[in-house]
Amino acid sequence: MTATNDQRKIRYAVVGLGWFAQEAALPSFVHAENSELVALVSDDATKREELSKKYGIKHTYSYEQYEDCLTSGEVDAVYIALPNHLHCEYTVRAANQAIHVLCEKPMATTEQECEAMIKAANDNNVKLMIAYRLHLEEANLQAVEIVRSKQIGEPRIFNSVFTQQVEEGNIRLREVTGGGTLYDIGIYCINAARYILQDEPIEVFAVAANNGEERFSEVEEMTSVILRFPNERLATFTCSFGGASVSSYQIVGTQGDLRVESAYAWQGELKHYLTINGETQERTFEDHDQLAAEFIYFSDCILQDKNPEPSGTEGLIDVSIIQALYKSIETRQPVQIETRDRHQRPTLAQTIQRPPVEETPDLIHAAAPSKES
């Protein structure tokens, strides 16, 4: 059942109840005034029972009962927080039942899967949004505006470091589920370079490294990347599952630079260090509920029949770049990529601010991916 414009709230089922869904998504519905959490989907009976009690949810389903959830008439949209390799299947199944889809990033593990997801959404006239929460977050959108307005001159260099210690046994260290540094955290750096430079890379090069620890037996420990953009601009970044917690990027222009600290974090303060002609200004952005912003934005797109800016095409472009980067690692050569048209970009007008979640919930049969999370 699809929501109509006179409905006040879009009704969501959260599909997959791992640490991020439990810690970030479920508590955020209290701040999303046009959205309502009505169903939970998980194969863990304890999660279903305890979380349904905690949030007052009447409808819970196993994965085998997913189709029942979609056809129940109780749900307008799904938020998919499953492992990466399941995103395509669960998105297509929802779209085929005329249910709108907000899917976590990476959108999928291959370009073909992404294209199947886009086709299913288009064929069934439903909204598909990829959960790029930073497209609604003020510090990152202000960075876009600073660069766009030429405050630092012509942007020439984007550089980023995104690292954390991911503990052994975490799903992000498994190849079969679509794990690995580029799919999990490198995607943030790729996406930031694209929205900061307002363009698409035309050539990529990457090198992977591994310190030989058992936890990195299936995926790389870290990856360093160079992205060549039109007008001879370069973006570089290193992402790692074996380093201390760092999350920052810097844009260097012909007249100054901007550094954003804790740039990719989903909670806590973010900071700008803007240097122009040798003088540095510091600005702090308060903590906000980034997941509530996503639900509010997506629900508004459904209610107002607007196309989400972080669309399936946005997700497809990042996945195509990631696949080219892994090809570069394999061949030890630069890889040229076909530039796709991308007319929509995140702008400051998309900023949505809600107060942060007040307390961190206890996790049920789930562990945060790293000690720093």
pLDDT at 40: 98
List of E strands, the chain: 10-15, 35-41, 59-61, 77-80, 100-103, 128-130, 155-165, 203-209, 222-229, 233-240, 242-253, 256-261, 270-276, 279-285, 335-336
pLDDT at 2: 43
Question: Token pair of 350, please?
Answer: 């998309």
Closest CA to 350 of 279, 302, 298: 298
Query: Is pTM, for the whole model, over 0.75?
Result: yes
Closest CA to 111 of 331, 346, 327: 327
pLDDT tens digits for range 6-48: 558 999 999 999 999 999 999 999 999 999 999 999 999 999 9
Percentage of residues in the chain having pLDDT higher than 70: 97
Backbone φ, ψ for residue 241 (5° rounding): -95, 5
Query: In angstroms, rounded to a whole number, what is the distance separating the alpha carbons of residues 261 and 223?
Result: 20
pLDDT at 340: 80
Find where tokens 């160079």 sit. 226
pLDDT at 369: 66
Residues of the chain below pLDDT 70: 1-7, 369-373
Q: Please report, for residues 87, 158, 172, the alpha-carbon distance to residue 166 in angstroms, rounded to integers and kept in the order given.
A: 22, 25, 8
Query: In angstroms, rounded to a whole number, what is the distance separating the alpha carbons of residues 148 and 138?
Result: 15
Query: In angstroms, rounded to a whole number, what is the distance separating the alpha carbons of residues 218 and 213?
Result: 10
pLDDT at 63: 97
pLDDT at 8: 81
